[in-house]
Copies of this chain bind each other. A is one copy, B any other.
Amino acid sequence: MSTPTESPTANADGTTSSRSTAASPDVDVSGREESTEFDQATRELLVDGLRRTLDGRWRATRDSVRERANRSDLLPDPSRTLDEARARVLEEMRELSSQGFAAAGFASDHGGTGDVGASITAIEMLGYADLSLMVKAGVQWGLFGGAVENLGTQRHHDRYVSDIISLDLLGCFAMTETGHGSNVQALETTATYDPQTQEFVIDSPTPSARKDYIGGAAQHARVAAVFAQLITAGPGQEPESHGVHCFVVPIRDDNGDDLPGVTTSDCGYKGGLAGVDNGRILFDHVRIPAENLLNRYADVDADGTYRSHIENPNRRFFTMLGTLIRGRVSVAATAGAAGRKALALATKYGTVRKQFEAPGADDEITVLDYLGHQRKLLPLIAKSYAMTCTQNELVAELHEVQSAAPDDSDAGRQRQLESSAAGLKAYATWHASHAINVSREACGGAGYLDENQLSIMRGDIDVFTTFEGDNTVLTQLVAKELLSAYADDVQGLSAGGWVRFIAGMARDVVVEKTAARQVIQTLLESSDEDTEKSTLTDRGTQIRLFRNREDHLVRTCAQRLRRATDDDNDAFEVFNNAQDHLLKVGRVHTERVVLESFIEAINDCDSKAAAELLGKVCDLFVYSALEDDLAWFLMHRHVSVERAKAIRRGVNELCRELRPYADVLVDAFGIPENLMVAPMIENG
């Protein structure tokens, strides 16, 4: 494939045509008519090469799940009642467990096999089958199991981990309350230490303290990892709250009945995820033994003295939360998988569905041959490619950080990781939700029938933008971290407090680009600093445009925020007036990271043909990202009017060039055949 130019096959008059571009010897990009006619061997070569790039480091795990999950009976069945759907997912979890699915998520000396990356990758792959199964598995092994694993100590590991893996102990993760979702520090549930009995008393003092939306709480969970304000008094002192900590609290007996003082209820029907039994929990002075405090980061002596090796309560809280990052990373990963599957279904349908008279033929036009249809699907496929590479990188980084010996962890690295996870979770779940929506609509009435899966996926994915961190809050978090350069002690500040911190910072904010990548550096160095001077298909120029946008937004946002004074109201107003700016900082930062990791993954691709095709995909990702934000680039003169027009034309052109590969691109996702069941694809 030739290196593309500004608008590779533009005619002299500025229009574009579908003339084929020269391609590498083994792959020829052809026009509409021959769209699927390159030979089978070439096709397989391409699919293989692409898949290796997309599969990343844990490709063996992917292949193993692919093999085991290639069963259409894993797909959600809308004819099940709520009870049946929930029972079925639990049954599927038992199967997974018996196949050793869950062990990777736990350290080998706790009874697991200790492969964090494999564990998240396996969870992600469930997204190709049933999002309810992924969520319920994620709650049990990732959130509940993760809390015990990461916040507990040996006494908890010994007692719980093997039962968690085997499902002999079903748990839930009781963090969110009716009154508090995003603001976890303000949870109202209390855990008050009673030195007389050496117990904690768990209580919901107000209606809004009710634990809410908790997966597993409606029916199956026997035990909850409860987040509550730890209140204790040292000898001779007044009781004092030490912030939110996590406690293992039994909630049901072996018959599934609520234990004394515990009142569970059912969230009932939801927009999707029928197989997940979300529920509520109220505690009325429930007593648990002191040892049920997950005490890795803090503990209470028998006499009530509170101890923690992390002095600062904010830092302590965020350190504890930080260890739970796996859930957020899994959600991002799975959203990625769901988005890919939806795009694959819609693309397959788009290559068989025909509508309206074709020129000079008896047949009708294949809908994916319409530019309008290509524009719906292909840029989203490109974005999915880019994001998958970023996701793989994030999982690898998480694996490294969490596999390091305890206390060998680098606080800065952990902080960066959390920010990347937050950013990608928001970016990936919004993308997935949008991609599934567009895919449904691109399949017309057929897309609305549950038999073709998209409508079920649409309902299931919806809440991914909300749980494991509301996307808006997470995007803002990314921006705040960037702007305060990951400074200590800004976590937990109120909006106003944080703005005052920024206003007080002596130096200019300089965006530190995560882990300098050699390949990016080289590309940057070989590109012209004046982006208008080089062609838009030049990688270095692409990176510069994304970096310049981010730097510009960070700098100007910091300038706005500096106007804050010490006045509380004023500081909040300054923050609030800049909130849209701040949210944009978070989004463009993540998008820049996504681009750079995609470029690095392409660089690592070992198939020449696949790498060249990936290059086109990367171009489409860049062109459509620029198109989506063109007003900003124009307004801030990072792109000229002429270039802006070339970007629009370029998206069309790239869609046309990639059209013949649409099928190849989605086959490379490697979605098990029996999970791609959709009568519409047979019927056309």
Contacts and interface: CB of A to CB of B under 8 A. Distances in A.
Interface of A: 15-18, 78-79, 81-82, 176, 178-183, 186, 207-208, 212-213, 267-272, 355-360, 364-365, 369-372, 375, 433, 437, 440-441, 444-445, 447-451, 454-456, 458-459, 462-463, 465-467, 470-472, 476, 494-496, 560, 563, 568-569, 571-573, 576-577, 579-580, 583, 627, 630-631, 634-635, 637, 641, 644-645, 648, 652, 683-684
B440 A576 contact: no
A270 B15 contact: no
8 contacts: A18-B573, A176-B445, A182-B355, A186-B356, A369-B576, A447-B466, A635-B641, A637-B641
Nearest to A467: B445
Contact of A466 (B433, B444, B683): B444
A569 to B, nearest CB: 5
Number of copies: 2
A631 B652 contact: no
B271 A207 contact: no
Contacts of A267: 449
Nearest to A430: B441
Determine which residue in A78, A358, A359, A433 has the highest number of CB atoms from chain B within 10 A of its CB, and name it.
Answer: A359
Contacts of A645: 635
Contacts of A683: 178-179, 207-208
Given A267-B449, A462-B455, A577-B17, A360 B569 contact: yes
Contacts of A466: 441, 444-445, 447-448
Determine which residue in A16, A356, A444 has the highest number of CB atoms from chain B within 10 A of its CB, and name it.
Answer: A444
B652 A580 contact: yes
A94 B360 CA distance: 51
Given A182-B356, A270-B455, A372-B579, 14 more contacts: A15-B560, A181-B444, A186-B356, A357-B495, A359-B571, A360-B569, A365-B495, A371-B580, A372-B583, A441-B466, A458-B459, A630-B631, A635-B641, A635-B644
A645 B455 CA distance: 39
Nearest to A635: B644
Given A577-B17, A644-B631, A271 B178 contact: no
A445 B472 contact: no
B359 A496 contact: yes
Nearest to A497: B357
Contact of A684 (B208, B375, B577): B208
Contacts of A563: 15
A520 to B, nearest CB: 27
B635 A630 contact: yes
Contacts of A375: 580
Nearest to A440: B462
A135 to B, nearest CB: 12
A501 to B, nearest CB: 14
A461 to B, nearest CB: 11
Nearest to A563: B15
B371 A183 contact: no
A449 B560 contact: no
The 9 closest A-B pairs by CB, nearest first: A271-B455, A630-B631, A78-B269, A359-B568, A269-B450, A360-B568, A357-B494, A359-B572, A631-B631
Nearest to A466: B444
A267 B679 CA distance: 11
A450 B272 CA distance: 9
A577 B212 contact: no
A675 B252 CA distance: 36
Contact of A16 (B81, B463, B577): B577
Contact of A15 (B271, B455, B577, B648): B577
A270 B495 CA distance: 43
Contact of A577 (B180, B637, B652): B652
Determine which residue in A445, A456, A580, A637 has the highest number of CB atoms from chain B within 10 A of its CB, and name it.
Answer: A445
A645 B581 CA distance: 12
Contacts of A444: 181-182, 466, 470
A587 B211 CA distance: 45
Nearest to A210: B683
Given A79-B269, A470-B444, A576-B370, A181 B355 contact: yes
A186 B563 CA distance: 65
A356 B495 contact: yes
Nearest to A631: B630
A375 B270 CA distance: 26
A627 to B, nearest CB: 8
A627 B580 CA distance: 13
Determine which residue in A78, A627, A635, A652 has the highest number of CB atoms from chain B within 10 A of its CB, and name it.
Answer: A635
Contacts of A433: 437
Given A182-B355, A494-B357, A580 B450 contact: no
Contacts of A81: 81
Contacts of A82: 79
Contacts of A579: 370-372
A448 B135 CA distance: 15
B631 A183 contact: no
A371 B574 CA distance: 11
Contact of A359 (B79, B441, B569): B569
A635 B634 contact: yes
A268 B577 contact: no
A219 to B, nearest CB: 16
Given A577-B17, A580-B652, A268 B371 contact: no
Given A371-B580, A449-B268, A355 B634 contact: no
Contacts of A583: 372
Contacts of A631: 627, 630-631, 634, 644
A450 B573 contact: no
A356 B494 contact: yes
Contacts of A360: 568-569
A157 to B, nearest CB: 31
A527 B547 CA distance: 42
Contacts of A447: 466
A73 B569 CA distance: 45
